[in-house]
Structure 1
Amino acid sequence: MGMDVTAERLIPLPPERVAAYAMDWRHDAEWTQGIRVAELTREAEGGGFGVGAEVTRTAYFLGRRIDYVLRVAAHEPPRLLDMVSVAGPMPMHVTYTFDPDPGGGTLARIRVRGDASGLYGLAAPLMARKVRSSLVKDLRDLELRLGKPQG
């Protein structure tokens, strides 16, 4: 069963600031639901983080520990970070986009596509709902971490 879930949030800060934080794997565990540890396990061609780099995440989802590796497929800060799983319990494709909003803020969007069929034997709609609620919280926590009170 294919899963395709997107969440978005308008964050009242410029894209450069939002993306600088959100695209930095060192912050993954601070704002992404379930992630306990994230580490850069392979550097990009030119060193550091970029296309070809791999981040290994240890997460807890529905009470189970999951280890997975995401490879950077596209890295165009501050607009786009696209990652594809190369190891883990299910094929997954994670896309972050940060578009400038006319009002001066950032439209932050996270899209997760994957094949959840073999993972938990869960109905895909249930899995999609769990993922969507996680993404909504991620974006809310991202805004909170960036320190702008909601007015």
Structure 2
Amino acid sequence: MAVNVLTEIVIARPVELVARYVGDPSNAPEWYANIESVEWQTPPPVALGSRMDFVAHFLGRRLAYTYEIVEFEPLRRLVMRTAQGPFPMETSYEWSAEGADSTRMSLRNRGEPSGFAGLAAPVMAAAMRRANQKDLNRLREILETTSRR
């Protein structure tokens, strides 16, 4: 069974600021509760083909996987896919203006877990949805209350 989780939020900051911050995977451990670390395999900044190693904790398990940037439209869309790891996963971000100084951001996680993970897909999707909403709320808090961004 496939997992396809879409979460959205409006952040009271311009698209350029939100997309620049979120589009830099080095910032992920700051706003994603479950991401412990990100290490670049290719030199930054983000470009098509960029690869990064992520270490995360999800549903009580440590996960290590490599994401590769497969789509990148600056200030509009970023899509990463696992090149290796526990199951094929795609994470995408989209940003659009919401009024003069706000951004609507969507975060989508899609994947095809197999084996036991495939059987647990509905539970996994619900847990992802909750975690993503918390992470987007944390992102909004960081970007709306921190002047250094």
TM-score by length of 2: 0.91
SS at match of 2:144: coil
CA contact (8 A) 1:89 1:119 kept: no
* RMSD, aligned CA: 1.7
String of CA shifts for 1:125-151, please: whole Å, max 9, x gaps: 1110001111111111111111339xx
CA contact (8 A) 1:67 1:88 kept: yes
Q: Which amino acid aligns with 2:22?
A: A
Corresponding residue for residue 67 of structure 1: 64
Is 1:97 the counterpart of 2:130? The answer is no
CA contact (8 A) 1:100 1:106 kept: yes
Structure 1 stretch 95-104 or stretch 80-89: which is displaced more?
95-104
Structure 1 unaligned runs (5+)?
A: none
| Separation (CA, whole Å) in 2 of partners of 1:125 and 1:103 | 38
| Separation (CA, whole Å) in 2 of partners of 1:50 and 1:97 | 16
Q: Which amino acid aligns with 1:8?
A: E
CA contact (8 A) 2:11 2:144 kept: no
TM-score by length of 1: 0.89
| Separation (CA, whole Å) in 1 of partners of 2:117 and 2:89 | 15
Structure 2 unaligned runs (5+)?
A: none
Query: Could you tell me the percent identity over the aligned residues?
Result: 35
Large movers: runs of 4+ above 6 Å: none
